[in-house]
Amino acid sequence: MENYIVVNQCLFVKMPKELDHHETDRIRSDMDGYFITHPIRHVAFDFSETEFIDSSGIGLIMGRYEKLHVAGGKIFVMGVIPSIRRVLAMSGVTRLVYIKESERDVFASIQ
Amino acid sequence: MEFTNEMKLELKAISENESFARMVIAAFTASLNPTLEELGDVKTAVSEAVTNAIIHGYEGNRQGVIRMHGYIKGKILHIVIEDDGVGIPDIARAMTPLYTSKPELERSGMGFSFMEAFMDELTVESEAGAGTKVMMKKIIGLENKYE
């Protein structure tokens, strides 16, 4: 399964079933590889298969936001179930990201 | 009151064990008939405490040992997570929302805030060089909380 794809300078990242510290370390280093090899402005995290997130996952999103927003980049979060949305809202990270239903909605806002 | 149930677990301080600790606590809590939301809360709190022990307590030393002790009294789930790591010199600062001692690792600084938010009670005992003990309580079965 392809977990990373770059379209229109937006890096799409398929999030794992459980996004904890173990997984964020792996995803962060994978993403850093893409930042070196591709011109990336935006990041879209696909949570459609994710059932768990803790503060490590929040740290990943906040860290990517810090990295991209200075250059006008946006962070998108797609396919969140209510329990994930609750954690995102509690952390305040919902103020930094754009919550979208699907890839199509993401494309519409980066055209 | 006697414990209705009790469990003790020792884990090596490696990140693969974060999901294992969550699975164990979810299975242990199941006997209290938790709602899905309560189960998610408990898993998140345990994930935070175990992650703290790995990253901060043992600073990545994979030989460290984390102890998880769970017990149930009536409707109250008690969880104690302990390490013998470097300890926390200033607990109040460590518990401040958004404070992290490791910003270079893109930590959110919300570990203790999440434990506080998702559990009913949180107590942290620690001092520099003496390890850390995190004690949490949660009443399970929200609808019947005030029976």
- The span from the CA of B73 to the CA of B80, in Å, is 14
Question: In the prediction, which pLDDT does B63 show?
Answer: 95
Query: Mean pLDDT across the stretch B102-125?
Result: 94
pLDDT in tens, A7-63: 999 999 999 999 999 999 999 999 999 999 999 999 999 999 999 999 999 999 999
* Amino acid occupying residue A36: I
Chain B residues in contact with A60 by the CB 8 A cut-off are: 106
Q: Pick A55's closest partner by Cβ from B16, B54, B110.
A: B110
Q: Which residues, at least 6 apart from B41, have a Cβ–Cβ distance to it below 8 Å?
A: B118, B119, B138
Does residue B62 have an active-site annotation? no
Subunit contact B48:A83, Cβ cutoff 8 A: no
pLDDT at B1: 65
The domains of chain A, with CATH numbers, are 4-110 (3.30.750.24)
CA distance B52 to B54: 5
pLDDT band for B104, please (50, 70, 90 cuts): confident
Assess contact for B55 and B102: CB atoms under 8 A.
yes
**Predicted local distance difference test score (pLDDT) of residue B144:** 53
Shortest distance between the Cα of A95 and any Cα of chain B, in A, equals 15
Please state the ipTM of this predicted complex. 0.90
pTM as predicted: 0.93
> pLDDT digit string (tens) for B9-63?
999 999 999 999 999 999 999 999 999 999 999 999 999 999 999 999 999 899 9
Domains detected in chain B: 5-141 (3.30.565.10)
Residue A73 confidence (pLDDT) above 80:
yes
Nearest to B94 by CA among B107, B82, B105: B107
pLDDT at B147: 46
What integer pLDDT is reported at residue B42 of this predicted model? 98
Ranges of beta strands (E only) in chain B are 5-12, 65-73, 76-83, 121-126, 132-139
Active site residue B48: yes
Write the pLDDT tens digit of every residue in B66-101. 999 999 999 999 999 999 999 999 999 999 999 999
The pLDDT assigned to A70 comes to 93
**Tell me, what amino acid is at B65?**
V
Chain A CB within 8 Å of residue B47 CB? yes
Helix (H) or strand (E) holding B120: none
pLDDT above 80 (res B142): no
Q: Crossing angle of helices A55-69/B36-52, nearest 10°?
A: 70
* B contacts of A83 (beta carbons < 8 Å): 36-37, 40
Contact across the interface for A60 and B106, Cβ inside 8 Å: yes
Alpha helices (H) in chain A, listed in sequence order:
21-37, 55-69, 82-91, 103-110
pLDDT at B67: 98
Residues of A engaging B, defined by a Cβ cutoff of 8 Å: 18, 20-22, 24-25, 28, 52, 54-56, 58-60, 62-63, 83, 87, 90-91
Coil, strand, or helix at residue A81?
coil
